[in-house]
Amino acid sequence: MNTRRELNRLPTGADLRADIRRRRRRGLFYRWLLLSSIVLALLSLTTLLLNIANDAFGLVALEYRRDPDTLGPAPLAELEQDQLIAILSENLSRNRLRVLEREAPLAQRSVEELRTLVLEEVARQRVVESATLFDSLFQRAATEAALREHHPNARIVFRSWLNWSFLATPMASQPEFAGIRTALLGSLWVIGLTILFAFPLGVGAAIYLEEYATPNRFNRLIQTNINNLAGVPSIIYGMLGLAIFVRALSRLTSGQAFGIANDNGRTILAAALTMALLILPLIIINAQEAIRAVPRSLRQASYALGATKWQTIWHHVLPVAFPGILTGNILAVSRAIGETAPLIVVGASTYITFDPQGPFSKFTVLPIQIYNWIAQPQEEFRRIAAAAIIVLLVMLLSLNSVAIVLRNRLRKSL
Amino acid sequence: MAEHLSTSARAAGAQPVPIAERLRRRRRIGESMIQALLWLCGAVSILTTLGIVIVLGRESWLFFGDEAVSLIEFFGSTTWQPAIGHFGIWPLLLSTLITSTIAISVAVPIGLAAAIYLSEYASPRVRAWIKPILEILAGIPTVVYGFFALYFMTPLLRAIFGPDTVQIFNMASAGLVMGIMITPIICSMSEDALSAVPRALREGAYGLGATRFEVATRVVLPAALSGILAAVIVGVSRAIGETMIVAIAAGAGPNFTFNPFQAAETMTGHIARISGGDISYASIDYNSLFAIGLTLFVMTLSLNLLSQRIVRRFREVYE
């Protein structure tokens, strides 16, 4: 009864058409509103990237104690290795030379490094002021004039803070001479070891859970546990690493057990173990999905031919699941490369000027170097932080695009 | 061939057990060893959890066992000053809650709206473009977001509200950028939930003359509500556990304030700052970090469990 009365009250004729028009208009309005949220997300991504580019390039005012091009027989850029060494030994005090020789013999250093040394030690180059990319591009004249007014003796040049020597030189206290060499190598060491630990463990656990585990209590516990571990904040893993790998197992992670003189366990090995635990759940979950996607018929065919369980897994399931497993692993690794918080807790050092020598070295990694530079007050550190971020993002994006290409290929082949 | 036949015949004659049965019974040491090894790999995850619980629990036990500390003060006091023996977690907890609330109030509307658009409106081609871009947004390291918060969001806020109101380090900019960070997570989880709603439900509503927007908000959204709720909870848990953005942009030093434009250290930020220095293992400072860590762990774990529970319930409805 009730419904019929309501039906009678529904609009008809012109009212109905007006009502439909109104609802359509409302729908259209909200459609644009929803779309605007996506636009907003894209906008923030663009702003973020532009903001970084804005800091990584731009005009700088350089001041020299001595003009670098009058130091040798030719302009600095054209000098050979022995000429550079000659300039250094002429102009530097004997003590300073000895310190430099002890860090690394001058004769063994590359031309790039020597040139930087001459600029830093003899010409005493200083970036006294730097401008952002947008100011340098769109208000070039005004920016240049301002720089010239502040520093009448300075040379004004366009500088890309991201350049070859930035990649190739180690950390330094002056932002214009600081580079990310040690941090990059540290990142590579940590990631390499992390893969070494996490890959076999993660894939092994996934095989166990998908192929062997019967649905009993213990196996269900493992599964729930892995899902929960994936949601534990990364800094908690850092605390686990600090208490177990750095402190409790310090004889092992510091390398004392292998005769290496290290006073504590804040080493690459401890960091890699921590990182491995952190990305393990991700690897397991991804590998499980890849293994689950392998058709049952494949396994049954193998069993029918008399293969054992492991033979079936090794020769039939894993090769088919491999691209999927690899994709998951790459994504996990790219997460590990950008992860900062656990390594701060585990104790990556921030000021390290020598290359990591092995798993028992003290180390720094790229994100921690960036964090350290962001925390510095001078503007030039912010510029090199931006340049280092570009390096980090390029690394991550290329890894992720490899993963995406792999995934698309896989989707086609299935 | 003949030889083979004769052996199997002989075997059958000598032993009544059929060959399939014998093969099954045969001991394969290699196979069992591999299985045990794989089991161990699975067990590592249990060990990790145990490790976390034991480490956090043990050090927290030491912390609360100290005579300078009481449980009542820890959960009741609003000053955290280890130097003079005051350990009240509220300043740290409050700023964690404020930054997370800001983040969630940014991420939920944007993420949900984007999810609805992607699942209900977007053509497959548009989706093929948008989703990888959202994945990029999700894959950017948090230290980069920290840079963005400090050097873009903070100046922006200071330009809008005035540099006197907004401090250089403040919770608002950290929270806003954290919102951008968790938007892709909420978006992709909600989109999964929306896409899982059966087509028939939508078609029924279209058949009754509903517009696309009405179908989306009155039929699909309520049907996917539990999945969306789970996404929001995961987002909250991410925000609470996020470290680098707040460590960079929210400020150093505990500060009990409700004003989001002021600097205040969060739980994660405090752990990162204190443990980054050379801290001695025996000190009460060291132990106090683990008490904060335990609080953090319990909070995020219960949120994650809640979200999983909701998802499991939601799956039961449609399978």
Question: Is residue A392 less than 8 Å (CB to CB) from chain B?
Answer: yes
- pLDDT over 90 for what percent of chain B? 42
Q: Tell me the shortest Cα–Cα distance from B73 to chain A, in angstroms.
A: 23
Answer for the pair B260, B171: CB distance below 8 angstroms, yes or no.
yes
Cα–Cα distance measured from residue B205 to residue B186, given in angstroms and rounded to the nearest whole number:
26
Nearest-angstrom CA–CA distance, B243 and A235: 7
Tokens at B292, concatenated: 């904060």
Residue B8 has pLDDT above 60, yes or no: no
**Do β-strands A57-63 and A155-160 pair in parallel, antiparallel, or remain unpaired?**
antiparallel
Q: Which residues of A touch B44 (CB under 8 A)?
A: 201, 205, 280
Distance (Å, rounded) from C-alpha A363 to C-alpha A353?
9
Q: What are phi and psi of B80, to 5 degrees?
A: -120, 95
Q: Higher pLDDT residue, A123 or A274?
A: A274
The partner residue sitting opposite A26, judged by closest CB among B45, B213, B275, is B213
Of residues A209, A227, A344, nearest to B308 (C-beta): A227
Kindly write down the DSSP assignment for every residue of A244-280, as one continuous string. Answer: IIIIITHHHHTSGGGT---SSS-SHHHHHHHHHHHHH
Contact of A231 with chain B, judged by CB distance below 8 Å, is answered with yes
For residue A219, give every residue at least 6 positions away whose Cβ sits within 8 Å of its Cβ, in sequence order, or none: A209, A213, B42
Is B235:B181 a contact under the CB 8 Å cutoff? no
Are A367 and B143 spatial neighbours (Cβ–Cβ below 8 Å)? yes
Lowest mean pLDDT, pick from A90-99, A297-306, B259-268:
A90-99
For residues B292 and A238, is the Cβ–Cβ distance under 8 A?
Answer: no
Look-up: residue for tokens 């213990």?
A218
Tell me the range of B88-97, B102-111, B260-269 where mean pLDDT is highest. Answer: B102-111
Check if the beta carbon of residue B171 is closer than 8 Å to that of residue B264. yes
CB A133 within 8 A of CB A53: yes
**CB atoms A34 and B117 under 8 Å:** yes
CA distance A370 to B82: 29
pLDDT tens, A22-57? 989 999 999 999 999 999 999 999 999 999 999 888
The mean pLDDT of chain A is 84
How far away is chain A from the Cα of B161, in angstroms, using its nearest Cα? Answer: 20
The arithmetic mean of pLDDT across residues A297-305, rounded, is: 92
Amino acid at B80: W
Residue B190: name the closest of B237, B139, B227 by CA. Answer: B227
The alpha carbon of B179 is separated from its chain's Cα centroid by a whole number of angstroms, namely 14
Please, is A13 exposed, middle or buried when counting C-beta atoms within 10 Å of its C-beta (0-12, 13-18, 19+)?
exposed
User: What is the CB neighbour count within 10 angstroms for residue A315?
Assistant: 11
* CA A325 – CA A198 distance, rounded (Å): 13
Q: How confident is the model at residue B277 (pLDDT cuts 50, 70, 90)?
A: low
Taking contacts as CB-CB distances below 8 angstroms, the residues of chain B near A277 are 48
pLDDT band at residue A266 using 50, 70 and 90 as cut-offs: confident
**pLDDT of B318 above 70:** no
Gyration radius of chain B over CA positions: 28
Tokens of A62: 């350089």
State how far the alpha carbon of A312 is from the alpha carbons of A161, A316, B26, B151, B220, in Å.
54, 5, 17, 55, 43
Highest-confidence range of A75-79, A191-195, A362-366, by mean pLDDT?
A: A191-195
Q: What is the pLDDT of residue B70?
A: 78
Q: Taking 50 as the threshold, does the pLDDT of residue B12 lie above it? A: no
From chain A residues 327-366, the ones with a CB under 8 A of any chain B CB are: 334-335, 337-341, 344-345, 347
| Facing residue for A205 by CB, picked from B41, B136, B183 | B41
Q: CA torsion angle for A32, A35, A36, A37 (degrees, to 10)? A: 140
Express each pLDDT in B279-290 by its tens digit. Answer: 777 777 888 888
Q: Which two tokens stand for residue B51?
A: 């490790």
Residues of B in contact with A310 (CB under 8 A): 30-31, 34-35
Residues of B in contact with A378 (CB under 8 A): none
For residue A11, is pLDDT > 80?
no
The pLDDT of residue A93 is above 70: yes
SS3 category, A33 = helix
Q: Shortest Cα distance from B265 to chain A (angstroms)?
A: 15
pTM attached to this predicted model: 0.87
Estimate the crossing angle of helix B124-139 against helix A13-56, to 10 degrees: 40
Nearest residue of A to residue B182, measured between CA atoms: A41
d(CA A351, CA A342): 18
Rounded average pLDDT over A183-202: 92
Residue B310 has pLDDT above 90, yes or no: no
Interface of B with A in 264-293 (CB under 8 A): 268, 271-272, 275-276, 281, 289-290, 293
Range of lowest pLDDT (A49-63, A242-256, B207-221): A242-256
Contacts of B23 in chain A (CB under 8 A): 306
Highest mean pLDDT among A30-39, A116-125, A208-217, A371-380: A30-39
Residues 114-173 of A with CB under 8 A from B: none
Mean pLDDT of A112-122: 77
Could you tell me the two tokens for A88? 């250094």
Q: Is A44 exposed, middle or buried (0-12, 13-18, 19+ CB in 10 A)?
A: buried
Question: What single-letter DSSP state applies at residue A360?
Answer: T
| H helices, E strands: number in chain B | 16, 2
Contact between residue A274 and residue A281 where contact means Cβ atoms under 8 Å apart: no
Q: Which residues pair with A92 in a beta bridge?
A: none
Letter string b/e over residues A162-172, b meaning 16 or more CB atoms within 10 A of that residue's CB: beebbeebbbe
- Name the percent of chain B lying above pLDDT 70: 93
- Single out the residue of B238, B239, B264 nearest to residue B250, CA to CA: B264
Tokens encoding B116: 């609805």
The confidence band for B144, taking pLDDT boundaries of 50, 70 and 90, is: very high
Decide if B114 and A277 are in contact by the 8 Å CB cutoff: no
Residue B31 structure tokens: 């196979």
Q: How far apart are CA A180 and CA A125, in angstroms?
A: 20
Counting beta carbons within 10 angstroms of the beta carbon of residue B250, is it exposed (0 to 12), middle (13 to 18) or buried (19 or more)? buried
CB A110 within 8 A of CB A118: no
